[in-house]
Amino acid sequence: MIAQDILDESNAAVSTDHDADYAALGDHLARRGIDIAAIAGQVAGYGVAVPSWGVGTGGTRFARFPGKGEPRHIFDKLADCGVINQLTRATPSVSLHVPWDDAPAADLLAAGEAAGLSFDAMNSNTFQDQPDQPYSYKFGSLSHTDAATRAQAVEHNLHCIELGQAIGSKALTVWIGDGSNFPGQSNFTKQFERYLASASEIYNSLPADWSLFTEHKMYEPAFYSTVVQDWGTNLMIAQHLGPKAKCLVDLGHHAPNVNIEMIVARLIHAGKLGGFHFNDSKYGDDDLDTAAIDPYRLFLVFNELVEAETDPAFDPAHMLDQSHNVTDPIESLMSSAMEVQRAYAQALLVDRVALAGYQESNDALMASRTLKVAFRTDVDPILAEARRSRGGAIDPIAAYRLSGYRARVAAERPEVSGAGGGIV
């Protein structure tokens, strides 16, 4: 963790400016009839889960260029995640990936407690082969033509649930790469039926208070067809399985030009929005830092979420899911957690009464402007205040750099060489 005096020093350096900015924004919002403290309170209460795999450097099929101090195992990862939450106070939980993060539950619980973190949704992995597994997922997992391979994949998911129960998780996220690379390779319908049968087995083993999140994705690693290719298929799955099954939306898993905020609205309408994997993308599943490419799109998603919050039962899961290829992963995750909070804060500023009026009277220009006024409000002082009020950093990136954390862990964690090529 970062030493308190470093954090204090970092905050002290910017607190005067921050106080001025916060006061000025408070005055401005008061003129708009908004209580800044109330917004800051809502933002302070908001959290997004960090993916354990996000603290390692990512890569592409062409290469991976590791950074300094790469985490060696889940305990290094939990330490890194602890720093993220210490500075941002926005990421109180971690989402584990099995078998990458497999470890004794007691050890995980202890390390989580030490890092001040709880455990969010469990993630199973049947898109890779593990050294000791009898059957390969080369041609699929939950939807494989071979029953034994499907059983192995189901069994792995049950193991994830078991581990998750022991550490206090309440959900299982299932993303599979099953699909095909050639027209004709798979019978779409039979493959889907096999998927549904396997998913039902998992669903039937789900504890009563758990949720099952299934995740759709248009393509990659399969390049002609994917079993759960879009939200329509995902909805069919959730309907087939039952009330504990819901759909997970990863912002980068859609076709070009698709209106994602509308999909969010439709899933809410169907009672099947399970949650999010936040990130940003320009081309495909780029897994870039959240809001790095199109911050207004993220705001529009949150506009739907804030709209739906009037239903007290509405409680989707919020997770980051990114690949950090050219940045320090801790910095990217802190920055992204703040971007999610930013979109939430902006969405809270929308004048919903005025908006509803413009919508009712088809005043498209003023409706659009109502959203834009909220979006272009610089809510940075609100986010900073929410952090500071809970013991975090006014400027987490600055505090992190000041702390020398990366150099410190790099001294403890051996250098990792880049992944060799050949996967082209």
> Do 279 and 251 form a contact (C-beta atoms < 8 A)?
yes
Q: Which of 19, 102, 201, 331 binds its own copies (CB under 8 A)?
A: 331
Binding of its own copies by 288 (CB under 8 A): yes
User: Toward its own copies, which CB reaches closer, 47 or 329?
Assistant: 329
Q: Contact at 8 Å (CB) between 76 and 347? A: no
Q: Which of 134, 362, 411, 414 binds its own copies (CB under 8 A)?
A: 362
Looking at the Cβ atoms of 133 and 389, the one nearer to its own copies is 133
Q: How many angstroms separate the Cα of 53 from the Cα of each of 104, 220, 279, 285, 390?
A: 18, 18, 14, 16, 26
User: What are the distances in angstroms from CA 303 to CA 244, 346, 371, 403?
Assistant: 25, 8, 8, 36
Contact stretch for its own copies (CB under 8 A) within 41-49, 201-209, 363-371, 407-415: 363-371
* 309 Cβ contact partners less than 8 Å away, ≥ 6 residues apart: none
Identify which of residues 63 and 106 has a Cβ nearer to its own copies in the complex.
63
Mark the segment that binds its own copies (CB under 8 A) among 59-67, 105-113, 156-164, 406-414: 59-67
Under the criterion CB under 8 A, does residue 45 sit at the interface with its own copies?
no
* Residue in 12, 224, 390, 404 binding its own copies, rule: CB under 8 A: 224
Contact letters for its own copies, residues 108-127 (x by CB under 8 A) = -----------------x-x
90 with 337: CB under 8 angstroms?
yes
Please, are residues 138 and 185 in contact by the beta-carbon 8 Å criterion? no
Q: Which is nearer to its own copies, 4 or 181 (CB)?
A: 181
Instruction: Enter the tokens of residue 103.
Output: 């470890």
Of residues 33, 45, 134, 183, which one binds its own copies by CB under 8 A?
183
Is the separation of the CB atoms in 280 and 292 below 8 Å? Answer: yes
Site string for its own copies, 238-267 (x = CB under 8 A): ----------------xxxxxx-xxx-xx-
DSSP 344-392: HHHHHTS-HHHHHHHHHTT-HHHHHHHHHHHHTS--HHHHHHHHHHTT-
| Residues touching its own copies, count (CB under 8 A) | 126
